[in-house]
Amino acid sequence: MALKLFNTLSRSVQEFIPLDPSGKNVGLYCCGPTVYDFAHIGNWRTFVFGDLVRRTLEFKGHAVTHVMNITDVEDKIIKRVRETKTSLREFTGKYEAAFLEDLDRLNCRKPTVMPRATEHIKEIISLIEKLIQRGVAYQAADGSVYFSIEKYRGCGCAYGRLLKLNFDELRAGERVKSDEYAKESAADFALWKARVPEDGDIFWPGPWGEGRPGWHIECSAMSLKVLGDSFDLHLGGEDLIFPHHEDEIAQSEGATGKPFVKYWLHGAFLLVEGKKMSKSLGNFFTLRDLLAKGFTGREIRYLLLTAHYRETFNFTLEGLQGAHTALARIDECVGKLREIIGTPASGTAQSDSQPAVPEAGAPTDLLARFAAALDDDLNISAAWAAVFEWVRETNKRIAENSLNASDAASALAAWEKVDSVLGIGTKSGTEIPAEILALAEARTAAKKAKDFKRADAIRDELKAKGWAIEDTPKGPKLKKI
Ligand code: AMP
Ligand code: ZN
């Protein structure tokens, strides 16, 4: 079955057909974090949505090049660097590292490439030069370089295709220098911002004098470099439609003369307790705030994945409690299947593998219903309904004693395939502390070195910490005693 997705460009649900004639390779660009603070739970909704898109494509057999940039120079960052009196790299490095840690805690697959804006100044400059050569960018009296919307439209190009703009209301020739602006002030936007004293030492030499790139050109330069002039999918939160994505299209198509992106996907916003997240309302949560309250990454991931990506989602702490209960139902069922098969819990951090589903006796219903739900513009409610009906049915069969080891293995394999998209793992797989995993690895290393005395000592140490280690043909497995 074909995957259908809502394309903001056409404002309709369309069949996803990759640009690659073989249909195999897919290029996906997700606008990444602006590393000026810890990412909040709203940001995470969008990044988990990006992970869902990527995993769905991989589930369907595509080879995905997933690019997520790191915005490590823009207006907000420069302001904070000035306030905190740190260096740019020191400041952004801290939040970039935190972002990667959080990405892992939410079990998002690491993007294939994560380019930093500051490492693409050369590409940014040559893209701006191309725009000047093509007559759609110009240097203004303030020394900055701007994109000319009028010249761009004069070449027969359309500006404002994602968001219908009324050009009669826009004043031609006006300029906007800040990275973020509202559609009422749609105007020529900055590509290269001439150095000003407030920038401190954050500037690069350029053909137009010292300065720094605008935010929008960063994404155009990095996506064109890694994915080529035209690629399949571009994704972000709905607030990025204007001006960020609109400007990305103008810059990229203005420079290459080719269609930039085939499908634009936008995730709806997350509200907290029915309101916009704000520090003053006390409803502002970073992922770390929630972990500190005792919730787990998988509970948060589960909750973020319960709503359809195009619907506003109301995040509540009560919802997180509900996530705990829902996951416990899945864990219990999967645990019972493992018992029937007689294999202890896997020692890996999460069941992120994509095992082949056995031909005979596989619970094709779960897989078929799950896959059909995803194909329907990522209909996640229908996907979860398929999962929980399968849990109910499987529990019933277990209670009736009508599930043998081979049936259980098929059921488990189907669940693991489903979980290759959901990425929630199971409790037994997720909760092995890093310290225990490190001990298990040390024991394997000791055995390899034929240091059996040390291997036995580590086994005892693990036992004292409440973990049994068992050697299986597939390698050592950890089990909570
Ligand atoms: P930023 O780090 O500010 O560039 O934002 C990273 C991503 O989070 C972007 O794709 C934004 O559209 C998205 N985003 C920001 N706030 C929210 C929110 N409340 N709900 C969902 N996505 C959001
Ligand atoms: Zn971007």
The pLDDT value given to residue 345: 47
Q: Is 236 in the pocket of ligand 1 (CB under 6 A)?
A: yes
The pLDDT value given to residue 474: 59
Q: Is 222 in the pocket of ligand 1 (CB under 6 A)?
A: no
Pocket perturbation via mutation, ligand 1, pick of 29, 37, 43, 79 by most ligand atoms within 8 A of CB: 43
- Tokens 């400041």 map to which residue? 91
Q: Is 374 in the pocket of ligand 1 (CB under 6 A)?
A: no
**Nearest CA owner, ligand 1 atom 18:** 42
Cα of 433 vs its chain's centroid, Å: 24
Question: What ligand has the least distance to the C-alpha of 34?
Answer: 1
User: For residues 422-458, b (16+ Cβ closer than 10 Å) or e, as one string?
Assistant: bbbbbbbbbebeeebeebbebbbebbeeeeeeebeeb
- Tokens 């693409």 map to which residue? 120
Q: Is 34 in the pocket of ligand 1 (CB under 6 A)?
A: yes
Nearest to 261 by CA among 280, 240, 246: 246
- d(CA 157, CA 211) in angstroms, rounded, equals 28
Question: What ligand has the least distance to the C-alpha of 266?
Answer: 1
Q: What is the pTM of this model?
A: 0.86
Dihedral Cα 317, 321, 323, 328, nearest 10 deg: 160
Cα of 312 vs its chain's centroid, Å: 18
Q: Is 42 in the pocket of ligand 1 (CB under 6 A)?
A: yes
Ligand 1 atom, smallest distance to 45 CA: 21
Question: Using N-to-C axis directions, what is the helix angle for 380-399 and 317-341, rounded to 10°?
Answer: 40
Distances in Å between the Cα of 448 and the Cα atoms of 357, 437, 441, 445, 459 are 33, 17, 11, 5, 15
Question: What ligand has the least distance to the C-alpha of 311?
Answer: 1
Q: What's the chain's length in residues?
A: 481
Question: What ligand has the least distance to the C-alpha of 49?
Answer: 1
The pLDDT value given to residue 434: 66
- Give the pLDDT means over successive 10-residue stretches in the chain (481 positions): 95 98 98 97 98 98 98 96 96 98 97 98 98 97 94 92 77 80 80 96 97 98 98 97 96 97 97 88 92 95 98 96 96 93 51 38 78 98 97 96 92 95 76 73 90 94 88 73 77
- d(CA 280, CA 277) in angstroms, rounded, equals 9
Angle at alpha carbon of residue 28, lines to 242 and 368, rounded to 5° = 115
The pLDDT value given to residue 343: 53
**Nearest CA owner, ligand 1 atom 8:** 43
Q: What is the 3-state secondary structure (H, E, C) of the chain?
A: CCCEEEECCCCEEEECCCCCCCCCEEEEEECCCECCCCCEHHHHHHHHHHHHHHHHHHHCCCEEEEEECEECCCHHHHHHHHHHCCCHHHHHHHHHHHHHHHHHHCCCCCCCECCEHHHHHHHHHHHHHHHHHCCCEEECCCCCEEECHHHHHHCCCCCCCCCCCCCCCCCCCCEECCCCCCHHHCCEEEEEEECCHHHCCCCECCCCCCEEECHHHHHHHHHHHHHCCCEEEEEEEHHHHHHHHHHHHHHHHHHHCCCCEEEEEEECCEEECCECCCHHHCCCCEHHHHHHCCCCHHHHHHHHCCCCCCCCEEECHHHHHHHHHHHHHHHHHHHHHHHHHCCCCCCCCCCCCCCCCCCCCCCHHHHHHHHHHHHECCCHHHHHHHHHHHHHHHHHHHHCCCCCHHHHHHHHHHHHHHHHHHCCCCHHHHCCCHHHHHHHHHHHHHHHCCCHHHHHHHHHHHHHCCEEEEEECCEEEEEEC
Copy the structure tokens of residue 82.
């000035």
CB 106 within 8 A of CB 301: yes
CA 267 to centroid of ligand 1, rounded, Å: 9
Residues near 462 by Cβ (< 8 Å), separated by ≥ 6? Answer: 436, 439, 440, 443, 468, 469, 478
**Nearest CA owner, ligand 1 atom 7:** 43
- d(CA 481, CA 470) in angstroms, rounded, equals 12
CA 33 to centroid of ligand 2, rounded, Å: 9
Q: Is 432 in the pocket of ligand 1 (CB under 6 A)?
A: no
Cβ of 373: how many Cβ atoms within 10 Å? 19
Parallel, antiparallel or unpaired: strands 4-7 and 12-15: antiparallel
Nearest to 191 by CA among 249, 129, 234: 129
Angle at alpha carbon of residue 11, lines to 9 and 15, rounded to 5° = 85
